């Protein structure tokens, strides 16, 4: 990485500090990786570079989308948002996403971790930094605008954010001393498209996994929305505590990809998808697959029933505990310890689950 004195102004820089940038070969390697792994997908979600800057608390709804412009260039933005102490004043900052000029989406802080981008709004705001100097000399390319819209719509669905313009904010809307996004950003158009019933980007998402190191684990736990997402995170952690290879996935795109892989794998030899809750099960169905029994399929789950979300969540938890017993028997894992780790993690992550277990 190289240090340069540059006249950057905006969300991340004050125009006077020494700014760290990627070396040319580092920048070329990162961009080449995104291109190579996109397989022609219109929108690429790169997960290979994660930020070291995030809070100990986890995100909690009701959620919002918060848009920023960086004030700099990609070579400096990616460093500033991922390395400690690189922003103006030696601060450590981050965002959930950084969207480059070509429309590549770099997911730097994954849900439910809390990025540092908007003060008290960090816990409930999914932060999207848009690579732009914020001046009339630096226009926003259409590919970048479309990527912002597509990602914000995808996050709306994943986080159960209503189609309400009030749930889409600029940094300047939540912190009065900020100027981003700039007046050159097509704010009214973007906000309208994000909450519209349909958008031209809707069918342009990747049919491949997010680029940049998305590797399926043996157990891939799917949970859409806040509560089922927390459940998926807790179950993945519980399985890992017993030495099983597991991770949680929180987007319909990743569920569709994993379901496809699980449906064609030789039983027990390929990745397995466990859908927790109706939203994840519906994503499997919409991808053209169906859940089976744990004993006969690598594509199974726990889907609760009941009158109202509270009862459905409680029933999903009960069914997940039974599923853990089955997994323990098939995989020769200690189901008692997995169950305890799962339920302890749920309560630790959110008090909401305390009376649902």
Residue 207 — pLDDT band, cuts 50, 70, 90?
very low
Q: What per-residue confidence (pLDDT) applies to 41? A: 61
State the average pLDDT for the chain: 85
d(CA 194, CA 216): 30
If one compares 278 and 8, the residue with the highest pLDDT of the two is 278
User: Tokens standing for 275?
Assistant: 């859908």
The CA–CA distances, whole Å, from 32 to 26, 36, 142, 148, 339 equal 10, 6, 21, 21, 43
174 pLDDT above the threshold of 80: yes
Q: What is the pLDDT of residues 75-102, one digit of tens each?
A: 889 988 998 887 777 888 899 999 999 8
Average pLDDT over residues 124-132: 94
The CA–CA distances, whole Å, from 121 to 64, 116, 268 equal 9, 9, 43
In CATH, 2-195 is 1.20.1250.20: no
d(CA 244, CA 331): 9
Domain ranges of the chain: 2-195, 219-355
Residue 45 — pLDDT band, cuts 50, 70, 90?
confident
Q: Tell how far CA 90 is from the center of its chain.
A: 27
d(CA 50, CA 42): 22
Q: What is the pLDDT of residues 321-340, one digit of tens each?
A: 999 999 999 889 999 999 99
For the entire predicted model, the pTM comes to 0.60
Average pLDDT over residues 197-206: 69
Q: What per-residue confidence (pLDDT) applies to 292? A: 87
The CA–CA distances, whole Å, from 25 to 31, 122, 294 equal 10, 33, 47
Q: What per-residue confidence (pLDDT) applies to 210? A: 46
CA dihedral of 155, 157, 160, 164, whole degrees rounded to 10: 90
Residue 221 — pLDDT band, cuts 50, 70, 90?
very high
112 pLDDT above the threshold of 50: yes
d(CA 326, CA 310): 25
Place of tokens 């053209």: 288
Q: What per-residue confidence (pLDDT) applies to 209? A: 46
Q: What is the pLDDT of residues 132-142, one digit of tens each?
A: 988 888 889 88
Q: Are 155 and 168 in contact (CB under 8 A)?
A: no
Q: What per-residue confidence (pLDDT) applies to 61? A: 81
In CATH, 219-355 is 3.90.380: no
Average pLDDT over residues 165-184: 89
Place of tokens 């594509």: 299
Task: With H, G, I as helix, E, B as strand and everything else as coil, classify residue 335.
Answer: helix
The CA–CA distances, whole Å, from 23 to 26, 74, 104 equal 5, 12, 19
């Amino acid at each position: 990485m190289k240090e340069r004195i540059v006249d950057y102004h905006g969300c991340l820089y004050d125009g006077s500090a020494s700014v760290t940038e990627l070396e040319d070969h580092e920048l070329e390697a990162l961009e080449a990786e995104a291109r190579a792994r996109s397989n022609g997908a219109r929108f690429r979600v790169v997960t290979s570079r994660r930020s070291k800057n995030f809070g100990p608390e986890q995100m909690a709804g009701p959620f919002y989308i918060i848009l920023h412009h960086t004030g700099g260039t990609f070579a400096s933005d990616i460093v500033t948002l991922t390395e400690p102490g690189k922003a103006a004043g030696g601060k450590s900052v981050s965002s959930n996403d950084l969207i480059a000029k070509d429309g590549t989406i770099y997911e730097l802080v994954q849900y439910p971790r809390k990025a540092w981008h908007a003060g008290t709004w960090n816990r409930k705001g999914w932060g999207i930094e848009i690579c732009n100097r914020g001046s009339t000399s630096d226009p926003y390319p259409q590919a970048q605008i479309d990527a912002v819209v597509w990602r914000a719509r995808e996050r709306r669905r994943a986080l159960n954010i209503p189609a309400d313009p009030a749930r889409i904010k600029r940094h300047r809307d939540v912190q009065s001393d900020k100027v981003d996004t700039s007046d050159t950003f097509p704010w009214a158009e973007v906000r309208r498209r994000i909450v519209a019933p349909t958008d031209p980007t809707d069918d342009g998402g990747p049919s491949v996994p997010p680029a940049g190191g998305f590797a399926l684990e043996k157990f891939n736990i799917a949970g859409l929305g806040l509560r089922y997402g927390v459940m998926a995170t807790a179950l993945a952690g519980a399985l890992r505590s017993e030495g099983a290879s597991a991770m949680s996935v929180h987007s319909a795109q990743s569920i569709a990809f994993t379901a496809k892989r699980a449906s064609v794998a030789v039983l027990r030899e390929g990745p397995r998808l466990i859908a927790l809750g109706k939203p994840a099960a519906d994503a499997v169905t919409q991808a053209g697959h169906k859940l089976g029994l744990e004993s006969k399929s690598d594509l199974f789950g726990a889907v609760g029933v009941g009158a109202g979300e509270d009862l459905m969540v409680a029933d999903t938890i009960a069914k997940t505990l039974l599923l853990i017993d089955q997994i323990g028997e098939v995989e020769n894992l200690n189901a008692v310890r997995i169950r305890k780790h799962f339920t302890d993690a749920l309560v630790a992550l959110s008090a909401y689950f305390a009376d649902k277990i």
